[in-house]
Amino acid sequence: MNKKTGYDESSIRVLKGLEPVKQRPGMYTRTENALHIVQEVIDNAADEALAGYAKNIQVTHHADGSVSVLDDGRGIPVGKHPEEKVPVVEIVFTRLHAGGKFDKGSGGAYAFSGGLHGVGVSVTNALSKRLEVTVWRDSAEYRIVFAGGEVIEPLKKTGPSAGRNGTQVRVWPDGKYFDDAGIPGAELAHSLKARAVLLPGVTTHLLFEKTGKQESWRYEGGLKDYLLELIDGEEPIVDPWIAEGYVGSGDDVFAIGEGAQWALVWTAEGGIHRESFVNLIPTTAGGTHEAGLRDGLFSAVKAFIEQHNLLPKGIKVLPEDVFSRVSFVLSAKVLDPQFQGQTKEKLTSRDALRLVSFQVKAPLELWLNRDLESARKIADLAIRAAQSRVRSAQKVEKKKGSGVAVLPGKLTDCESTDLQRNELFLVEGDSAGGSAKMGRDKEFQAILPLRGKVLNTWETDKERLFANAEVHDIAVALGVDPHGVGDTVNWSNLRYGKVCILSDADVDGSHIQVLLLTLFFKHFPQLVERGHVFVARPPLFRVDVTASGKRQARKIYSLDDGELTHVLDKLKQEGLAQSAWSISRFKGLGEMSAEQLWETTLNPDTRRLSMVGYGEVEPLDTAKRFHLLMGRTEASSRRAWLEEKGHEVDVDV
């Protein structure tokens, strides 16, 4: 062992309290500016309004750079926690994974809320130079002050409440954690404006102390008024459709109150405007609730087109044809949403797709059949989009004959010739390849199973590549010859817009990923540069939960140990005993049924797919690292590197 590393028992450091946030702030919030830690406070005020207790949210951007958020809700509890023996308001701001949003049972403080991880305002506190909290509750006023996440003025009663209730939080962001400690005023205003749209009867206020500028928002017309404001100046082909759908009693899958409300409109030209929210949280990157809206719209419009025989011969309407000219505002209510990261920009809850799709499809079918004139206009717009797509789609002739490379016999090709839609999955093993063939969407997904590990091509000459059968099949299936960084490439022969590496979620699978990435980086670098190469991320665990009450048995998939821990925590919060679930670890993709593989890894709406790119690392540095890892003459260098860095890796063996 290299003695310079000093790796022993004392090297293991346990981060306590809010230290993890300070050490790795990017894991908990966006760090380009301090807006997100302020939004965490606004989210709490909005949750009070969503629960029906607050009517006003006042945000003040003070001249000294701090921001205060005031609501007229119930006020954060100030009594001592029955187990922790510390004032609850102190716990909320100093402990990760603590808060009222975990209480989901009947009579819980929050049935639907955006802050579900118990992380939000504690992160705000950790990344602030100073944070002051004033609470008006139980006819009294209370105050507590923090600095750098630590209590510097303990909670104390400062006087009577003068008949008011609510909470005020004032935040001084610490600039050392952010690229820019300032708060972008336009984004702050948009955030408050959106909450006024989504909270009928609630007024949001914003004051900039330095300029004296003050704005207030209250939307009596809700989503419709906001949508019309977004598409101002653009002519809809039909009147906007505003509707909502929520789960009632007796549903075996979803909780009472889950569902969505939406306002949408079709326009023939101009810009497309789309905004979505989950429990008032803006989901700027979309997610499964938007996929559910698209699925519901497509199913209803397609059914109308088929019912009235409107489709021209040889034309097939796809979801993007129906959805391409839709502007919308969508607000979903999900009992226990799963977001991609703490910044909550994308909803990943798979059930949300079915939830929203089901709520959208039936009322839209009813609306279309009641208003036939509008329905025909929508159908005509979708059909014209399909015709335009077919005309513009790149035609790829699948040549089979003398002098032309024949497509690999193992390749199960797709039906579409649309390069932008087509996907090729390079699948580890024949068994998994069989499941993938059955589970895929044959319209646009092709499968090429790979036997064993691909050749390490780092030091293989381009002329000798095709001596390896697997590499030959990959290149021929793609339709692109091996090339260098500066070579001229005939992209007209590229047959797939996405090339997806699909291997087991274990060490061998990771090895296959590295070998394939080596092939692409070394011999198809422009394919990577153009954003065509992806890595599919199948789950490693499946949790089988038995039926309880009215809720049916469930299967919950987890990508890794971290997600598994989160899933088990949620099950415990539901009040389930450990005997109510069992955990299975997938030994490989071959263990998954076709249905499971589609739901978790192939379905574009619910899968995890990571694009491969160079990022901020210089290609030359990447090449050096590849050479260290894959070069045949670098065994001694690899050993030295492993001795120095090996302890940093969590190896799955």
Please tell me which residue in 239, 508, 529, 621 is annotated as part of the active site: 508
Cα dihedral: 627, 633, 639, 640 (round 10): -70
Please tell me which residue in 19, 441, 481, 506 is annotated as part of the active site: 506
* CA-based torsion, 223, 230, 385, 290: positive or negative: negative
Indicate if 209 belongs to the active site.
no
Query: What is the token pair recorded at 92?
Result: 């909320």
User: Could you tell me if 59 and 206 are in contact, meaning their C-beta atoms sit under 8 angstroms apart?
Assistant: yes
CA distance 142 to 133: 8
Please tell me which residue in 351, 428, 470, 605 is annotated as part of the active site: 428
Neighbours of 417 (CB within 10 A): 16
Indicate if 397 belongs to the active site.
no
Indicate if 508 belongs to the active site.
yes
Query: β-strands 423-428, 498-502: how paired?
Result: parallel
372-392 and 350-370 helices cross at what angle (nearest 10)?
Answer: 120
Phi and psi torsions of 241, nearest 5°: -105, 120
Question: What order do you get walking across the sheet with 581-585 strand by strand?
Answer: 554-558, 541-545, 581-585
Please tell me which residue in 174, 504, 599, 605 is annotated as part of the active site: 504
Q: Ramachandran region of residue 107, left (φ > 0), alpha (ψ -120 to 50) or beta? A: left
Question: What order do you get walking across the sheet with 140-147 strand by strand?
Answer: 150-160, 140-147, 128-137, 166-173, 67-71, 56-61, 203-208, 214-217
CA distance 90 to 93: 5
Indicate if 504 belongs to the active site.
yes
Phi and psi torsions of 643, nearest 5°: -65, -35
Query: What is the token pair recorded at 13?
Result: 């450091």
Name the residue among 560, 473, 468, 474 with its Cα closest to residue 517.
474
CA distance 73 to 202: 11
Neighbours of 162 (CB within 10 A): 9
Q: Rounded to whole angstroms, what are the CA distances from 546 to 53, 482, 560, 581?
A: 36, 51, 22, 6
Residues annotated as catalytic are: 428, 504, 506, 508
